[in-house]
Amino acid sequence: MLLVTFLCCFQQTNAKPNPVLEFAKQQIKQKFYLPAISTLNGYLETHPKDVEALYWKGHAYLKVENYLAAQDAYNAVIKLDPKYLPAFEDMASIFMKQKNYAAALPYFNASIALNDTDINLFNSRGMCYYYMEKFELAIKDFNAVIDLDPGNFLAYNNKGSAEYNNQNIASASIQDLKMAERDFNIAIMLKPDFQLAYRNRGIVRYFLDSLQNSYKDLLYAIQLDPKDENANWYMGKLFFKQGNNLIAMQFYDVAIKLQDKKPDMYIDRGICKIEMGNYKGSRADFYKAMQFENDGRAEYQVARSFAAENNKNDAIYALKQAKKLGLFNNTKYFTYINKDKYFQKFSKDKVFYEAIKELKFGKD
């Protein structure tokens, strides 16, 4: 996924450093987190309102992933000093690590209110918006990064990703895809070996039907990082789109081996297996996809697999199951059925016709 960078900015004071506190900070620097917590607890017994000590205690708990204890310490810091920036930054970091983006957002907002020139804060809040699918707000933050640092290749990559996801990449407008491609171009110009930007540009070019350029980008992305499941997945999609099913299968297999919990990957590989005549194998993939997300799309493909082997009754049953899952609330699927080469063989079949009529209008 896209990189999110968290940097802590530590406040400075003119007070004479306390040797016990300095020792605890040195322990943290050397990654002796639990001993540091013990040192700080002893110090806080006589200095219970020392904001810096409370902060470092929270930071040590953060490092050992005791997030509840860290939050308690940071909340104590914020209560004593509502402008203590590092506590807000670390709180945002905790919630981002937990993928609780709605909870992270107020802490990013507070951090940026205290320091509106830190590109890392804008970039990180932009990613928070991105994961919340508030793409317009994400783009605004990435633009803020670019205004502060025109050479920030990461912001251009993140902005491009937000642009093509703004509508849903599979149905994004040509304009959005072109804008994303432009931003990935800039990211690559700024960092010629930026693997994520090559992969993302390759995906955008796939949807722009610039398949040769997409192939070059995805291939280079895989060379830079062979374990990028999305680069392998879209390479599979690209070869399938070109009708080269054997090579498509190889890339689908790699992608699923790297990330075996993405239902769309199983659906795509299952569709490829239908084209290769492996109907039983295709259904194994569709059933696997259903374990992760059962929204009717996999059931629809199961119906196609049965239709492909002339099993009308099981095809109808699978379509009815897809109906129960709400798939046909989107009427485009009726158009798909009418145009599908596997369903067309039943176009003059009365039983199949009545089944499709029932899917559209319900029982008489």
Question: Can you tell me the distance from the alpha carbon of 252 to that of 86, in angstroms, rounded to the nearest whole number?
Answer: 44
Question: What is the C-alpha separation between 337 and 196, in angstroms, rounded?
Answer: 37
Which phi and psi (to 5°) does residue 320 adopt?
-65, -35
DSSP H or E segment with residue 330: none
Q: So what's the pLDDT on residue 164? A: 86
Burial per residue of 155-175, b for 16 or more beta-carbon CB atoms within 10 angstroms, e otherwise: bbbbbbbbbbbbeebeebeee
AA identity, residue 187: A
1-115, what's its fold? 1.25.40
Distance of alpha carbon 290 from alpha carbon 356, whole angstroms: 23
CB 32 within 8 A of CB 38: no
pLDDT of residue 291: 96
Residue 172's H or E segment, with its range, is none
Q: Is-same-fold flag (1-115; 262-364)?
A: yes
For residue 151, how many other CB atoms are within 10 A of its CB?
A: 11
User: Cα(350)–Cα(214) distance, rounded to whole angstroms?
Assistant: 44
The per-residue pLDDT for 4 is 42
Q: What local confidence, expressed as pLDDT, does residue 56 receive? A: 97
Tokens representing residue 33 in the block: 């987190």
Please tell me the predicted confidence (pLDDT) of residue 90: 97
Going from N- to C-terminal start, the domains of the chain cover: 1-115, 262-364
Query: For 23-92, what is the HEC assignment?
Result: HHHHHHHCCCHHHHHHHHHHHHHHCCCCHHHHHHHHHHHHHCCCHHHHHHHHHHHHHHCCCCHHHHHHHH
- Output the pLDDT for position 169: 66
At residue 165, the pLDDT reads 84
Kindly state the tokens that stand for 76. 């104590």
This prediction's pTM: 0.85
d(CA 146, CA 163): 15
Second CATH level (architecture) for the domain 262-364? Alpha Horseshoe (1.25)
Other beta carbons within 10 angstroms of residue 271's beta carbon come to 21
Residue 344 neighbours by CB distance under 10 Å? 12
Q: What is the pLDDT of residue 16?
A: 73
State the pLDDT at residue 14: 52
pLDDT at 166: 76
Per-residue pLDDT, 11: 45
Query: What string of pLDDT tens digits covers the 364 residues of the chain?
Result: 344 444 444 444 455 778 999 999 999 999 999 999 999 999 999 999 999 999 999 999 999 999 999 999 999 999 999 999 999 999 999 999 999 999 999 999 999 999 999 999 999 999 999 999 999 999 999 999 999 999 999 999 999 999 988 766 666 788 889 999 999 999 999 999 999 999 999 999 999 999 999 999 999 999 999 999 999 999 999 999 999 999 999 999 999 999 999 999 999 999 999 999 999 999 999 999 999 999 999 999 999 999 999 999 999 999 999 999 999 999 999 999 999 999 999 989 999 999 999 999 887 6
Token readout for 65 is 């992933």
